[in-house]
Structure 1
Amino acid sequence: MNFDEHMVVARVKRVTLRDLRFWVREGWVRPAHGEAGPVFDNVDIARVRLLCDLKKDMSLSTDVLPVVLTLIDRLHQTRRELRALKEALSEQPDDVRRTVVEKYHGLHGSSEETAGDH
């Protein structure tokens, strides 16, 4: 479903039109561009709610928000990549999966030992 600015403000009670427009200008929310202006989808609505949580509930300052958003975006990207890797691995024969898991555990164990040595 698609929403215009006014529908977003009506749907997310904690955001003002002014805040929403500022967040779009800053690139913190990236709606599609329609003939009548920005068009928001459910992902954009979730992002607006996240910004409300960070800005209004957690009182993060405007200069800190881009850093936090970048970290959250990177975390989500990493999760997408890991899901894709898991799917690709699940399609491999058992011996290949076993070899990859053993190699992972070998590397994972090595990094823990190295970290503990410092």
Structure 2
Amino acid sequence: MEKLHDVIIKNLPEGFQEGMGYGMLGWSVPHSTYPAGYHCDPKQPLPFLGIASQKNFIALYHMGIYADKELHDWFVAEYPKYVKTKLDMGKSCIRFKKPETIPYELIGRLVQKMTPQQWIELYEAGLKR
């Protein structure tokens, strides 16, 4: 978890705020940047990324993968270049059953791909559908 945290911190674009949310360590767009907050609970900042150590796996939650098909498809195509095991992924959740199979370099590339402003625009476009 520490190594995953370090990779995220090193590669995450400026403007995201680290904190606890939904029972895990996460990064969000702070109210100072996006005053409206998260539509489900406007008191909460807009969530973007989270990591959690579950009972049987380590989870990486990346809302950009859920909201941006192009980013999702890029990640799915790149994953086999880094890891021999099958990708275990939900809508925004990537599960790693063994820490040694976490593709840290790929995760670093993934978190670099979206700025807070890009995430806000994508989020708002999804809300207006």
TM-score by length of 2: 0.26
Pair member with larger Rg: 1
Higher relative contact order (CA 8 A, sep 6+): 2
TM-score by length of 1: 0.28
Which structure's residues are more often helix, by fraction? Answer: 1
